[in-house]
Amino acid sequence: MPASLAGRLVVAISSRALFDFEDENRVFEAGDDRAYMQLQLARLDEPARPGVAFSLVHKLLAFNAGAAERDRVEVVMLSRNDPVSGLRVFRSARHYGLAIERGVFTRGESPWRYLHPLKAHLFLSANEADVRQALAAGVPAARVYPASALASEHHPHEVRIAFDGDAVLFSDEAERVYRAGGLDAFQHHEHARAATPLAPGPFKPLLEALHRLQQQPGSSMRIRTALVTARSAPAHERAIRTLMDWRIDVDEAMFLGGLPKGEFLRAFEPDFFFDDQTGHVEHAARHVPAGHVAAGIANADAEAVVPTDGQEC
């Protein structure tokens, strides 16, 4: 029988999201990809340092330990790296005991088109253009901030993921009302529609996949999720009722009413946090691993095509 990824949670990740390749990337950004390739080859036996999404990947792969019938999680390298540089990526993964067997290396070309054959539930990259293309194609995706604080080591048997609400888990309907009419219009709109579920946002498929993974028996690993939103009462009710309508639980919900999210996230200690507003991500990244979801009206004014931010995405 041919190999299949059916039934697995599939995470596609770039080399810069998984490992700290910032020194090497500066060589590439200087305009000499040959020098970059030679540097990666010279460091072939030197394991790369863990990057911003390392903890998330390491813990998700731990769900495969003791799986009776098949692996539950598949992590695939999906990178603008060249195949030669990919050698170091795989060797670094093996050094840390990460069971990553599949990879696509495109040497500068955008790799997002391979997300659908992979049936990916999540794409993490340092390249904003690739993230935007993935989101436009319906794949949950985020641009990682490589300079983010690394994840806490306090929860080795628990994957902790935090999500913003509007334009991430939910549609940007409410955000559009807020931008058009201000806080009072937003509160009135959400209170009047408290019993009407919000439309899904780009990350609902990932939340559903995590929920299914959590329901599978036989693993010592657990998943803990948090909704971390600028909403406050009475607008909180619609968010909660939407999750109830989806029949998906989150373990924690923080309705912060505009308070900065970073210190609350530091207290939650997620392996990753997703938000659609760059200001929130930049503040959060001082405390926890964070990524920008370039979706919704908050990102509508940005150019659709942006600089590629280096070879490794």
**Residue count (the chain):** 313
Q: Which of 20, 82, 164, 309 is catalytic?
A: 164
What six digits make up the tokens of 290? 């964070």
Q: Dig out the tokens for 313 from the structure.
A: 């995405």
Instruction: Report H helices in 108-249.
Output: 115-118, 128-136, 173-192, 204-215, 236-246
The secondary structure of residue 217, as a DSSP letter, is S
Whole-Å CA distances, 41 to 24, 49, 59, 109, 305 = 11, 16, 28, 20, 31
The yes-or-no answer on residue 245 being catalytic is no
The residues, any chain, with a CB within 8 Å of residue 42's CB and separated by 6 or more, are none
Decide the pairing of beta strands 73-79 and 49-50. unpaired
Q: What letter represents residue 78's amino acid?
A: L
What are the CB-based long-range contacts (under 8 Å, 24+) for 279-286? 280/164, 281/145, 282/145, 284/148, 285/145, 285/147, 285/148, 285/149, 286/149, 286/262
Answer whether 61's CB lies under 8 Å from 99's CB.
yes
- Is the backbone of residue 160 left (phi > 0), alpha (psi -120 to 50) or beta? beta
In angstroms, the CA 86 to CA 165 distance is: 35
Q: At which residue do the structure tokens 């599939």 appear?
A: 10
Q: Which residues are catalytic?
A: 164
